[in-house]
Structure 1
């Protein structure tokens, strides 16, 4: 096993960071690694915004409800960006592009491009001994984040990433077994693997070093989907010119 695989397999979400900013060199390497991610049709349909203004960090922490959005070594916000690819278009050309630009396909392309870049950034950061935590909680008030970052039409914030020197060592959370996520040639039901994973998670939650509880993965997922969340996201996404067709 090489060091890259070891870095990936040892991933943990870090939610407590030392009060130390990452260096300009570290940030440069992280962004360069993000930019080398695969991209659909060479669109590079994402933008990364580094948040250095303490006031903006505080607002984003309020939106998220998580203190580590403010207290970290650096905060990134990853955005889907279909504004840049069309910026140089004439009014006539842009009019011809709009129907295709605003379809579901290109919404997926831009979101996937951003996610691929983010994962490259995460691996790069962890390879340097830094910790990271993805921040989907910025979508708790997507409109406020959009306004705060002054994003033009055809650019939307998707998620954040807190980066910094870890101030704790959380337990590594188990993942679903391979048999539950990898199939050959067609989709397969694999209830036995899920049941076994639920037993593993029950043991994990009861024995981990903090936040012990009686729980399973299946119970978590049932709670997750039984309660509606972020129902305003669709309206904001379409208002910004994404996923309209």
Structure 2
């Protein structure tokens, strides 16, 4: 494999960090490189907030469900979908304000996500570890208030960055043949695919060096989606100017 493919294949979520700081010049370089990500119609509808205030970090860690690595990481960012500049462009050109179209929400969210994945991959390429923090959506209103986020901006997830102090085992991903469909989607194979992967993941969970458990992929996945519905998100997003039509 070339270095990029190797880095993509070797991603691990890192939650334990050393006390080593990250040079500000490296942070800016990583952000600039991450901006090379694809963008819908080149609207670049994202921003990130570098959270350095220890009190705010502690509050966000608590809001995210007690994720202490938000506090202990060398750097913590909040990745935001941001349509403020896009709306200004529309007003400047005499085309009116944005109207909360679902398409614009999707474009901004995907733009921000492409950028964030690039940022994580770049960070890992220089020896940093990282983990995304979806738990900030437990209470996005408080997070938005802490960070002074205006309307047309919403926090999608956080990102911890730091030098790793531990290396967890690499989780086996779904086999390529499970996620790859040719010409048309084959829904008949779902049960067999999931059951086979459950067996693989159960063996992984029972054999890894740390945090062994008797579980499988479907058990973990069902718990993740059914216990984290965050039904407040629609009202929150609509109040910020998203998903109105």
Q: In the superposition, relative to structure 1, how do residues 79 and 226 fare at CA in structure 2: closer, same or farther (>3 Å)?
A: closer
Q: Residues 113-155 of structure 1, C-alpha deviation per residue, up to 9 Å, x if partnerless?
A: 0000001001100000110001101111100001011011101
Rounded Cα–Cα distance in structure 1 between residues aligned with 2:101 and 2:194: 35
Query: Which stretches in structure 1 are left out of the alignment for 5+ residues?
Result: none
| RMSD after superposition | 1.6
Aligned partner of 2:52 in structure 1 is: 52
Q: Helix, strand or coil: the match of 1:75?
A: strand
Runs of 4+ in 1 over 6 A off after TM superposition: none
Pairing 1:35-114 to 2, within 5 Å after superposition: 35-64=35-64, 65-87=66-88, 90=91, 93=94, 96-99=96-99, 102-114=100-112
User: Do the aligned residues in 1 keep the contact of 2:75 with 2:161 (CA within 8 Å)?
Assistant: yes
User: Do the aligned residues in 1 keep the contact of 2:90 with 2:97 (CA within 8 Å)?
Assistant: no
Rounded Cα–Cα distance in structure 1 between residues aligned with 2:39 and 2:92: 26
Aligned partner of 1:194 in structure 2 is: 194
Aligned partner of 2:145 in structure 1 is: 147
Q: Residues 178-224 of structure 1, C-alpha deviation per residue, up to 9 Å, x if partnerless?
A: 11111111111323222211111001111111221111111222223
Pairing 1:113-152 to 2, within 5 Å after superposition: 113-152=111-150
Aligned partner of 1:216 in structure 2 is: 216
Q: In the superposition, relative to structure 1, how do residues 213 and 152 fare at CA in structure 2: closer, same or farther (>3 Å)?
A: same
- Is residue 163 from structure 1 mapped to residue 164 from structure 2 by the alignment? no
Rounded Cα–Cα distance in structure 1 between residues aligned with 2:71 and 2:85: 29
TM-score by length of 2: 0.94
Offset at 1:92?
Answer: 9.8
Alignment length, in residue pairs?
A: 242
Query: Which stretches in structure 2 are left out of the alignment for 5+ residues?
Result: none
TM-score by length of 1: 0.94
Rounded Cα–Cα distance in structure 1 between residues aligned with 2:120 and 2:93: 40
Rounded Cα–Cα distance in structure 2 between residues aligned with 1:120 and 1:31: 9
Rounded Cα–Cα distance in structure 2 between residues aligned with 1:196 and 1:125: 33
Rounded Cα–Cα distance in structure 2 between residues aligned with 1:216 and 1:47: 36
Q: Residues 1-55 of structure 1, C-alpha deviation per residue, up to 9 Å, x if partnerless?
A: 1111111111000011111221112201210122111100110000011111112
Rounded Cα–Cα distance in structure 2 between residues aligned with 1:168 and 1:57: 22
Rounded Cα–Cα distance in structure 1 between residues aligned with 2:227 and 2:86: 37
